[in-house]
Amino acid sequence: MTLAAMSGFLAVAIGAFAAHGVTDPTAKDWLRTGATYQFMHTMATFACATFMNIGAKRARFAPAFFLGGTALFSGSLYAMALGAPRWLGMVTPLGGLCFLTGWAILAWSARDVDRA
């Protein structure tokens, strides 16, 4: 939960930086996209706690993929926006695969929820 809270903080800070501190349109777009996906998966990480509380115990595996995906997907976009070489963009789809895996795990874990 601490990592998720820190991720949310960082997503808001980077989104604000993109809106007010960057003039290059490509860099601004990369930062905005990274912050959007980071924030979305931060909220998904928090939702996993709710899932676990209602009986979906396997949901505990999803946050690692959501947060790992954030590091790879959003992190690579942030790095390129700040001047890292463009080849780093090859990492971005790996983060997307982590996001997809996290969502698949969450769907799988929903089968554990008591339907009574």
Please report where in the chains the tokens 């998720």 appear, as a residue: 4
Please report where in the chains the tokens 């809106």 appear, as a residue: 19
Give the span between the Cα atoms of 21 and 15, in whole angstroms.
10
Confidence of residue 116 (pLDDT cuts 50, 70, 90): very low
pLDDT at 115: 65
Q: Tens digits of per-residue pLDDT, 34-86?
A: 999 999 999 999 999 989 889 889 999 999 999 999 999 999 999 999 999 99
* Contact yes or no for 15/39 (Cβ under 8 A): yes
Percentage of the chain lying above the pLDDT 90 cut = 85
